[in-house]
Structure 1
Amino acid sequence: MDWRVVYMGGVFISLFLFVMLISKRQKSTADKILSTWLFFAVIHQALIGWYASNKMSDMPALIGWELPFPFLHGPFLYLYILFLTGQQRQGWRSILHFVPAVLVAIILAPVLGSMSVPEKLGAIAPVRFEALFQWMVRGIIVSGVVYVVLSLVLLRRHKQNVAVQFSNTDKITLNWLRYLIGGMGVIWVVVIFFESAQSLYVVVALFIFFIGYFGIRQVGIFSNPPPAHEVYLPAVVQAPEAEVVADVADVADKKVKYEKTGLTEAEASRIHTALTTLMRTQECYKDSELTLGDLAKTLEIHPAILSQVINSKEEKSFYDYINTLRVEAFKQLLLKPDSQQYTLLSLAFECGFNSKTSFNRNFKKITQLSPSSYVKEMNISVQTGE
Structure 2
Amino acid sequence: MDLLIDFVLIGGIFATLLILFLLIKSEQKALPQKLLVIFFTTLCCFLLNSYAENHNIAILFVLTFLLSFCIEVLLGPLIYLYIKSLFEDNKSLLKKNWLHFIPLVLHTIFLTIPMLIYIFKEEYPFSYFEYLNENSDYVVAALMLYLLFYLLISLKLFHKYRNAMQLNYSSIDESNFRWVKKMLIGAIIISCIELFIDLYEIFVTELQWQTANITLISVIIWIAYLGYYGINQTKVLLPDFLIKKEPLANSSKEKTNVPSSLTPADKKVLETRLENILRIDKPYLDEDLTLGKLAKMVDTTDKKLSGFLNQEMKTTFYDLINTYRVEAVKNKLGATEYENLTLLGIAYECGFKSKTSFNRIFKRETGLSPSEYKKTL
**Which TM-score band (shorter chain)?**
0.7 to 0.9
Structural mapping, 1:209-228, within 5 Å: 209-220=224-235, 222=237, 225=240
Query: For 2:211, which of 185, 188, 196 is the aligned residue?
Result: 196
**Equivalent position of 1:110 in the other structure:** 114
Residue type matched to 2:251 in 1? Q
* CA distance in structure 2 between the aligned counterparts of 1:36 and 1:13, rounded to whole angstroms: 15
Q: CA deviation at 1:80?
A: 0.4
Query: How has the CA–CA distance of structure 1 residues 104 and 224 changed in structure 2, closer, same or farther, with 3 Å as cutoff?
Result: closer
Percent identity over the alignment?
Answer: 30
**Equivalent position of 1:233 in the other structure:** 247
* CA distance in structure 2 between the aligned counterparts of 1:294 and 1:257, rounded to whole angstroms: 20
Q: What does the per-residue CA deviation read over 1:276-311, in whole Å, with 9 as the maximum and x for residues that have no partner? A: 222222322122332223323444543222222322
Q: CA deviation at 1:118?
A: 6.4
Q: Unpaired segments of 5 or more residues in structure 2?
A: 198-209
Residue 250 of structure 2: SS of its match in structure 1?
Answer: helix
In 1, are the aligned partners of 2:76 and 2:147 still within 8 Å (CA)?
yes
* CA distance in structure 1 between the aligned counterparts of 2:20 and 2:11, rounded to whole angstroms: 14
Query: How has the CA–CA distance of structure 1 residues 62 and 179 changed in structure 2, closer, same or farther, with 3 Å as cutoff?
Result: closer
Q: CA deviation at 1:334?
A: 2.9
The normalised TM-score by structure 2 is: 0.79
Query: For 2:52, which of 50, 53, 77 is the aligned residue?
Result: 50
* CA distance in structure 1 between the aligned counterparts of 2:24 and 2:65, rounded to whole angstroms: 29
Query: For 2:98, which of 95, 98, 109 is the aligned residue?
Result: 95
Query: How has the CA–CA distance of structure 1 residues 61 and 223 changed in structure 2, closer, same or farther, with 3 Å as cutoff?
Result: closer
Q: CA deviation at 1:220?
A: 4.3
Q: CA deviation at 1:221?
A: 5.1
* CA distance in structure 1 between the aligned counterparts of 2:356 and 2:241, rounded to whole angstroms: 23
**Equivalent position of 1:333 in the other structure:** 332
**Equivalent position of 1:317 in the other structure:** 316
Query: How has the CA–CA distance of structure 1 residues 197 and 309 changed in structure 2, closer, same or farther, with 3 Å as cutoff?
Result: same
Structural mapping, 1:253-292, within 5 Å: 257-259=258-260, 262-292=261-291
Residue type matched to 2:220 in 1? A
Q: CA deviation at 1:320?
A: 0.7
In 1, are the aligned partners of 2:46 and 2:67 still within 8 Å (CA)?
no
Query: For 1:144, which of 139, 144, 147 is the aligned residue?
Result: 147
Query: For 1:130, which of 128, 133, 145 is the aligned residue?
Result: 133
Q: Which has the higher contact order (CA 8 A, sep 6+)?
A: 2
* CA distance in structure 2 between the aligned counterparts of 1:335 and 1:291, rounded to whole angstroms: 28
Residue 258 of structure 1: SS of its match in structure 2?
Answer: coil
Query: How has the CA–CA distance of structure 1 residues 20 and 336 changed in structure 2, closer, same or farther, with 3 Å as cutoff?
Result: closer
In 1, are the aligned partners of 2:151 and 2:188 still within 8 Å (CA)?
yes
Residue type matched to 1:110 in 2? P
- Over the aligned positions, Cα root-mean-square deviation in angstroms equals 3.6
In 2, are the aligned partners of 1:314 and 1:321 still within 8 Å (CA)?
no
Query: For 1:27, which of 20, 26, 29 is the aligned residue?
Result: 29
Residue type matched to 2:194 in 1? V
Residue type matched to 2:351 in 1? G
